[in-house]
Every structure is written in C-alpha cells, then in structure tokens.
Amino acid sequence: MIKAAGAVLWRDAGGDVEVAVVHRQRYDDWSLPKGKLDDGETIPACAVREILEETGYSCVLGRHLRQVSYQVRGVPKTVDYYAAEAVSGSFEENDEVDSLKWLPVAEASSLLTYEPDREVLEEFARLPADLLLVLLVRHAKAGKRSEWDGDDDLRPLSGAGWRQAEALRTLLPLWAPVRVHTAPRVRCADTVRGVAADLSVEVVEEARLSEEGYWPDPDAGLVRLLEVAALEGRAVVSSQGGVIPSVVQSLAEMGGLRLDKIPCKKGSTWVLAFTRPFGAWSTSDSPSRWPTLVSAHYLPSALPRP
C-alpha cells in the first residue's frame, strides 16, 4: 500500500476564494499538490510538507475532504486530501512543479487533468473554506485503574501515554489552534499540556466536559463546546472516552451529519469543523444561529504508522 496526502490550498482574494493548481513537468498534467508519506510521518504532516515543497507556501490545515484510491503499477495507493489555507510563502519552480496558478474554483476545476482531483475540489467547494475547528482529543494512555491506589482524578499517564502526548504536540499544531481546554483530570490535562506550553497559553479546565460533569446535563456540555468553537475559532479540547462519542454523535445529529461509527481510542483526535455564526454570537442566541457541525474526521493516533 502506498500512502500519500495533499490538499486544496486556498487563499482569500478580496473576499473570494482562490485555489492553487500545479503543473508537474514530469507528467505534463495539472493537479492538486500531493505526495507520498516519508518514513515516520503522519498523513496530516505529509500534506503540510508536500504543500510547502511543491508550492512554496506554508499552510494551516482545515477539514478533511476525502480519500482517493487507485492503483499504481498494480499497487494500491490512497491519497488523503485536506482543505489548507495558505498563510505565507511564494511559488518558485522546483524539481516537481514548474508552474502554479491561483484560480477561482470553477476555473481550477476546468484546468485539472484528472476527474478524482475535480471531485476533491467539488467537495471543498461544498462548504465555506473558513470554518471553525475543535480538535477533540481523548486523553492518552494512563496506568491501569486497578493498579492505582490514589484519587482516580490524579491517575497519571503511562510511558506509552507520554509518547502519545508528545506526538500530539507535533500533530495538533498543524491546525493552528489558539487555545487548549481540558476536562479536570490529570491524565486529560497532561495529554495536551505540551501543546499549551508551545502556544504559550494556559490550559483551561472544563468541568462540563468530564464524565461526571457531562452526564447530569449533556446539553450544557454541548453548548459549552460550541461556545469554545464560536468564540475561539480553533481550539483543542481534551476529554474522556465516556464523553466524546456522545458529544460527536449529538453534534452530528444536530447538524444532519451521518456517522456510521464513532471510535474513540486513547490518544485519538476528532477534527470537528463547524459553520461560523454571522456577526456577534452568544449562547443566548437562537439555536438556529449556533455553529453547526459540518465535518467530523477521526485520527486514531498521533503516532505515525510503522
């Protein structure tokens, strides 16, 4: 299996969205930027690296768009595509790409050589480019409850859990979160404490998103998560396995989004994308003006696959 990743790289052009298409001299085609995973690399990290190498632009990831599958000389290959906003840089001709064009979506679609690329671009255009994001993380592995004599709130991460937390420190910044929130558990906080340190922000405790705080009033927990999304734009929230599936399922039902399964492994992340409310927003507004979940993508691990 060959694994690759790429993105629809976009920018704001005076209120309109333009996307980048690249010409590869080796194949004489116009395509979306993409490339194969390096050893020890995650799929999201590959997408960001390939964008930089092929286009010269640093980017911030958005929602996952789709996975494309095909055969290369009899070997199966998958390419995961993300939306990605260009934040800095400029194009220079390189070994893989000799030309880049910024175009409105319709013009870019007409130029692309391959139908799967056009389908990826169509999925990108289905929703606004600039969405709210919550990176909903289940805490990393902790020592066994049966082997811990103290208060369970204080049960620490295991060695494997610390490795997962360190990997999240590399993975989550690819979406450029600005704040870090956590259920009031040592294992939840320690899972994302390194991310907060790198952002130079405090870890904000969220009692409504712990198991004992969520279940007496699930609606209040959902409202709190939507508030974090709406008021901060991009945020990390670390919670527990007894909360996350209910939160994701409830938000999906509210948004009319169908999810067949809602896995929740320790150290995993749900990348949740929401529509932005128009104008100023508060929880006292009508629910019709609240952020709506429009995309939910599951990352089972922050660690690269062997």
Q: Residue 60 carries which DSSP code?
A: E
Please state, in angstroms and rounded to a whole number, the distance separating the CA atoms of residues 212 and 208.
8
Is the pLDDT at 149 greater than 80? The verdict is no
pLDDT-based confidence at residue 226 (cuts at 50, 70, 90): very high
> Out of 3.20.20.70, 3.40.50.280, 3.40.50.1240, 1.10.530.10, which CATH number does the structure's domain 132-299 have?
3.40.50.1240
Tell me what pLDDT residue 279 has: 76
Which of 240, 297, 247 lies closest to 266 in space, CA to CA?
240
Is the pLDDT at 260 greater than 70? The verdict is yes
Residues in the chain: 306
Topology given in CATH for the domain delimited by 2-125: Nucleoside Triphosphate Pyrophosphohydrolase (3.90.79)
Tell me what pLDDT residue 286 has: 80
pLDDT-based confidence at residue 84 (cuts at 50, 70, 90): very high
Q: What is the average pLDDT score of the chain?
A: 94
Answer whether 2-125 and 132-299 agree in fold: no
Is the pLDDT at 154 greater than 90? The verdict is no
261-298 pLDDT per residue, tens: 999 999 999 999 999 987 777 778 887 788 999 999 99
- The full DSSP string for 137-168 is EE---B--GGG--S-GGGPPB-HHHHHHHHHH
Q: Where are the domains of the chain?
A: 2-125, 132-299
Q: Residue 209 carries which DSSP code?
A: G
Tell me what pLDDT residue 138 has: 98
Question: pTM of this prediction?
Answer: 0.95
Tell me what pLDDT residue 18 has: 98
Q: Is 200 exposed, middle or buried (0-12, 13-18, 19+ CB in 10 A)?
A: exposed
Percent of the chain with pLDDT over 70: 97
